[in-house]
Structure 1
Amino acid sequence: MEPIHKKVGRNLQAIRKSRGLSLDNVAELTGVSKAMLGQIERGDSNPTISVLWRIVGGLGISFTTLIEEADASVTVVSPDEVEPFVEEDGAYRAYPLFSYNLRTKFESYLVMLDPGSEHGAEPHNEGVEEYIFVHKGVLELRIGDEVYLAPAGSSVRFSANRPHRYVNPGAETAQFYTVIFYADAAARG
């Protein structure tokens, strides 16, 4: 397992370069010396928490961004390998396939909804969009007073800032993939 200060250094350098910033620029934004930033990026220094807070505050990033694992160039995820979120007495199962991260600004799930079942969702923040791809069965999507029927092979996109319900009116388990895109986070990123 990689030491945390090495992850911090690698991630700090990646963030700095992705924004086209020099060490001088980051020093100016954060109040941390250029020399210290260089040592952190090289993994030669194990910075204090207060130094890390100055860095994340100056760059406008979350603390955990500095300690995230590097993305693999290829990731294969099987629903059998992840624990689902289960609601509606087990009739609604959402398998998290890819978690939200700052680079992609989205998260995705495989959802299984038993026949005759439904699941309600609270409104998301303004600007959040949901993309649904129905693989098996039929999904009825209720957004406010509007009802949309999406059989297998259909896709739906909607602004998710209103209450919405997923309903399975069919005789077989509905299986669909959903991608939730956080547009506000993309604008801030």
Structure 2
Amino acid sequence: MQQHTPEIGPAIKRERKARKLTLEQLGTLSGVSKSMLSQIERGEANPTFAVLWSLTQAMEIELSDLIGNGTSVAGREEIEVTSVMHTPVIRSADGSCRLKILSSPRLAGQTEWYDLEMDPGGALVSQPHSIGAFEHFTAFTDGFEISSGGSKTVIRTGETARYRADVPHAIRNCGTDIGKGLLVVLHR
């Protein structure tokens, strides 16, 4: 069964226009460039979690409000449920790496977690995050190589690598099958 990810670009445009904001005004409020906003709204660029968080904060809405009907609150306990169909997915530029955003938008910049799926030969190469940031990656399949700064290691199914993310770092699938894992990013 094929799942469709929410169309975030048109939703951002709809919310921006509902607030009578120009691209330039939303860019100023969010810190996201006008050209990047335009690309996102047209579906030509996939926003990162941090960009989505900046946009939702600037428009004073929750991510669940942005993608609509993805979240329901039930009863007094206020259990937040995001459906599979409304779980945002970030794709690498070449499409070889897919990250489902599992963490709450309220935790952006603090703690983020992702369901990672990577094609053979794919890589998630990252520039340094904020000072003191750390990543924890648990492999659900074999074949992942983790690099952080000048260190590099291969991990197997069930193993967790913990490494600095305030230096250049990467996760690579050196295996011959689609790789899967759980990525947690801790910002300090």
TM-score (norm 1): 0.54
Q: Say if 2:148 and 2:164, in contact at 8 Å, map to a contact too.
A: no
Cα deviations by residue, 1:55-98 (Å, 9 ceiling, x for unpaired): xxxxxxx9x59x676x9643444554323111142101111111
Q: Percent identity?
A: 24
- 1:16-31 matched pairs, under 5 angstroms: none
User: Are 1:157 and 2:172 an aligned pair?
Assistant: no
How do residues 36-55 of structure 1 correspond to structure 2 at under 5 angstroms?
none
Secondary structure at the counterpart of residue 161 of structure 1: coil
* 1:128 matched to 2:169: no
Is this contact kept in 1: 2:109–2:187, CA < 8 A?
A: no
Structure 1 gap segments, 5+ residues each: 1-61, 184-189
Can you give the 5+ residue segments of structure 2 that lack an aligned partner in the other structure?
Answer: 1-53, 63-70
Asked whether the equivalents of residues 86 and 92 of structure 1 are also in contact (C-alpha less than 8 Å), the reply is: yes
Q: CA RMSD in A?
A: 3.1
State the shift of 1:104 in Å. Answer: 9.6
Instruction: Please state which structure has a larger fraction of its residues in helix.
Output: 1
Report the Cα distance in structure 2 between the residues aligned to 1:78 and 1:138, rounded to whole angstroms.
Answer: 30
CA contact (8 A) 1:79 1:110 kept: no
CA distance in 1, matches of 2:142, 2:167: 25
Q: 1:175 aligns with which of 155, 167, 180?
A: 180
How many pairs does the alignment contain? 122
TM-superposed CA distance for 1:144, in Å, is 2.5
Aligned to 1:95: 100
Deviation (angstroms), 1:109: 0.8
Residues 86 and 94 of structure 1 are in contact (CA less than 8 Å); yes or no, is this contact kept in structure 2? Answer: yes
Answer yes or no: is the 8 Å Cα contact 2:143–2:174 preserved in 1: yes
Q: How much has 1:99 moved relative to structure 2?
A: 3.2
Q: Output the amino acid matched with 1:180.
A: V
1:140 maps to 2:145 = yes
The 5 Å alignment of 1:57-72 reads 64=57
Query: Which of these two proteins has the greater Rg computed from alpha carbons?
Result: 1
